Amino acid sequence: MIYVPYLARSSVDPDWDKVVLLLHGDGSNGGTIIDSSGSNHTITATGTPAIDTSNVKFGTGALLFDGTAGYLSAGTSADWQLGSGDFTIEFWHGHYAWNGVAFEEPLIGLWSNLSGQSISWLSTVDINNRLTFYYAVGSTPNFTAKTTNSTNGIGSSYRHVAITRESTTLRIFFDGVVEYLGGITGTIDSATSTELTIGGLNYNSDKPYNGRLDDIRITKGKARYTAAFTPPTAPFPDG
């Protein structure tokens, strides 16, 4: 089936060769979730996460996480190993509400305490509406990267979130504004046997995300944003 969006995608991505994950969340309710990047990773839903055609940012659908159970998995891949290079992790985050259980809810990450798996990096939103980016170097986790204050409006409509590494500088953007700026050194642990999960963790059932995510994109090898910017006004391009 050919998907024709009602809002045209941005024309060309000059860094398309660095895109390792791109989830538009388009389709029909409960339909197959497609990775539109050149890597074409298989996306598997455990529990309740699914495409939902109400309350979308772009296109015909968004990824709905109802805060009760489960997560999306993109499997294991070298694509998720961020190492010591530049990167950008971004998505539209909306219609969020605390799930009433966990202090923080996972958004996307390579993080597991299951036997044979390990921790690498993880982005969350906590009960105080702070955005975070945790990462491990030499098996030691670093939990310092989080927005200082509550990020106003994080639960209403859709807001753009971006996490970038530019050499030794780590930034967290909220709607194009730098909300965290700090240093980052070393090589982020690889966690080669750990699956990339979205909206939950594969070892802790009390932390499912309660909200919607749209247009999730990981760019490996490029910090797309290094200063304040205007958030995208169209879906990310497929090439």
* Number of neighbours of residue 66 by Cβ within 10 angstroms: 18
| Percentage helix, strand, coil for the chain under 3-state DSSP, each rounded to 5 | 5, 40, 60
Question: Do 122 and 150 touch, CB atoms closer than 8 A?
Answer: no
Q: Per-residue pLDDT tens for 69-89?
A: 899 999 999 999 999 999 999
Question: Any alpha helices (H) in the chain, and if so which ranges?
Answer: none
> How confident is the model at residue 10, as a pLDDT?
54
Domain ranges of the chain: 19-150+159-220
pLDDT on residue 153: 76
What span, in angstroms and rounded, lies between the C-alpha atoms of 19 and 215? 12
* 167 φψ region: left (φ > 0), alpha (ψ -120 to 50), beta (else): left
19-150+159-220 CATH:
2.60.120.200
Chunked mean pLDDT (size 10), the chain, 239 residues: 41 94 96 97 96 95 93 97 98 87 89 91 92 96 88 83 98 96 97 96 84 97 98 96
